[in-house]
Amino acid sequence: MNALKLDDLALNALGDPTRRSIFEKLEKGPLSVVHIADGLPVTRSAVSQHLKVLKEARLITMKQEGTRSIYSINQEGLIALRNYLDRFWDEALENFKQLAETTEKQKTIKK
């Protein structure tokens, strides 16, 4: 049913600087919405919308505590991102090797 892949959602979510700020605020531990919005240069409404995007990307979770909504970092989105990055690792290393060889070759050629 979910047409979009999790890594797409996660990268899209962390592509926005305000959402990164929110996500990074949760680095130290769970927070309520008012605490998240505190200090940020946008309204609480904007924060709510960002939280929705982060939640759909499985980068955060929410648990209700009375009238408070407590948000925490979720490993599911993090795992998706890590797996995504790992796809490119071998290729990047190979390119690095080739670059090193080329540089070395040129160094030898240069009179």
Partner DNA sequence: ATGAATGGTTAGTTTTAGCTAACCGTTAGC
Partner DNA sequence: GCTAACGGTTAGCTAAAACTAACCATTCAT
Q: Which is nearer to DNA, 32 or 74 (CB)?
A: 32
Angle ∠(31,63,48) on CA atoms, nearest 5: 60
Closest CA relative to residue 9, chosen from 55, 71, 61: 55
Q: Which amino acid is at 90?
A: D
Considering only residues 40-59, where is the footprint of DNA by CB under 7 A? 41-46, 48-53
CB of residue 62 to DNA, shortest distance in Å: 6
CB of residue 65 to DNA, shortest distance in Å: 7
Considering only residues 4-23, where is the footprint of DNA by CB under 7 A? 15-16, 18
